[in-house]
Amino acid sequence: MDWPHTIVDREAWHQAAERLRSTEWSLLGLWGEPGVAHMAVMQAGQCALLSLACEENRFPSIGRLHAPAIRLERAMRDLYGLEAEGSPDARPWLRHESPYPFLPVEGESLHQIPVGPVHAGIIEPGHFRFTANGETIVRLEQRLGYVHKGIESLMAGASLEGAAKLACRVSGDSSVAFALAFAQAVESALGVEVPARAVWLRALAAELERLANHFGDIGAVCNDAAFALLHAHFGLLREHVLRAAGACFGHRLMMDGVIPGGLQRDLPADGERVLLELLALARKRFPELVEVYDDTASLKDRTVDAGILSPVLAQQFAAGGYVGRASGRKFDARRTPGYAPYDQLQFEIPVVQAGDVNARVWIRIQEVGQSLGILEQILRQLPSGPVCEPVARHAGEGLALVEGFRGDVLAWVRIGDDGRVERCHLRDPSWFQWPLLEAAIEGNIVADFPLCNKSFNCSYSGHDL
């Protein structure tokens, strides 16, 4: 990906905040390293990187003008001691050493419901503080960071192989997306030309990952609306995808398959047959299940008009994935800025305006259809040849934006002269989706929270790093 890297002064940094506030630019990421703040933005489909040297570890707050930056700035202070001057929220975020002051709530007949970090289901940990008036939620405040593993500190000094493995484990459900984003950033830093077959097989793995997650999550949303039948059927489809992924890439979640330079290994001899069978099965079963979803009034009764996210907020937060596309934001990193082989593939980017749970499910249903089409095209056009190119060891810096199932994953890496990672930042799409869940849930009843939450399905691990 071509992207200009500009070293800016405080004034230019401040102007960037103004451009973000006016939504002329979109915020792709904001992160730190000792003494330096970095910001990735997108303007008219073009990515750019801005860096500011922080005198006395201070920089002008972006969050003061542009709310989506607030949590990122809190994380920068926790991880690197960088202070965002004028930030509207100076509380710690990823560090949990001191007692946490929740926002004050005032009003008549309000009560609070604290939930988590350990939840009732098999879910990642996080804390939700509901303030309710009767059944109605008047405010949700999230507290995250429970699964903060210090991934950026482990990345610093890691070998490229070690860092690629870490990237796969930033958020296990998006293993391919993170590995791909990291690999593309490294390849851009070192000027590696990835063999054509690897480029196509990477897209194949990425679309399988999208399918598996969409199947699993559509079913899980139905389950949270007490419709277990579809959960069972979609769970079966997901399992078929995982088994095909295991047969083709040696790992059900396809971890460690995508590496800088290409792929760990080629498809096995029967790989294409396994995939064609999977596609035939999905083409047959999926429409029947969608019909049930669409024709079941009791299910629609729960999903329509629940958890509405306004297009204005989706735009402001540059919400990626189905969260953004269900609220009118037509953005997909496979098209903008775009990367191979998607420029040679036919697919649509579904978008609707409604912004409710039903819209998010519906976008994912449409995306399943598009992914099936993409997989069929890939299998028809799969080039032959090697799947890995040796990676030279020298210094460089790279940025990449990849579309995971949840939305756009940003990767930035700086490699030292010894060929090891100096610094790496991986930004999960959840950073810009979690705050929107707080907004979308307002005015809904407490009992609808699991349903709304699942329709967002933000990553805790990807966010907590």
Residues forming the site for another protein (CB under 8 A): 94, 96, 117-118, 120-125, 145-151, 153-154, 165-166, 169-173, 175, 216, 229, 232-233, 235-236, 238-239, 242, 246, 252-253, 255, 288-289, 291-292, 295-296, 459-461, 464
Nearer to another protein, 239 or 422 (CB): 239
Nearer to another protein, 148 or 364 (CB): 148
Nearer to another protein, 50 or 144 (CB): 144
Nearer to another protein, 184 or 461 (CB): 461
- Of 242, 177, 185, the closest CA to residue 206 belongs to 177
Nearer to another protein, 200 or 460 (CB): 460
CB of 24 to another protein, least distance (A): 35
Nearer to another protein, 150 or 268 (CB): 150
Q: Judge residue 213's burial from the number of C-beta atoms within 10 Å of its C-beta, 0-12 exposed, 13-18 middle, 19 or more buried.
A: buried
Q: Please tell me the distance from the alpha carbon of residue 278 to that of residue 166, in angstroms, as a whole number.
A: 29
8 Å CB contact between 357 and 303: yes
Nearer to another protein, 233 or 334 (CB): 233
CB of 68 to another protein, least distance (A): 23
Q: What residues are paired with 112 via a beta bridge?
A: 131
CB of 292 to another protein, least distance (A): 5
Sign of the torsion angle spanned by Cα atoms 435, 437, 410, 243: positive
CB of 59 to another protein, least distance (A): 24
CB of 344 to another protein, least distance (A): 31
CB of 228 to another protein, least distance (A): 11
CB of 415 to another protein, least distance (A): 20
- Of 26, 107, 109, 114, the closest CA to residue 62 belongs to 26
Nearer to another protein, 9 or 270 (CB): 270
Nearer to another protein, 249 or 331 (CB): 249
CB of 448 to another protein, least distance (A): 18
For 109-122, the three-class secondary structure string (H helix, E strand, C coil) is CCEEEEECCCCCCC
- Of 283, 287, 250, the closest CA to residue 379 belongs to 283
CB of 146 to another protein, least distance (A): 5
CB of 295 to another protein, least distance (A): 6
Nearer to another protein, 9 or 100 (CB): 100
Tokens 């970095």 belong to residue: 38
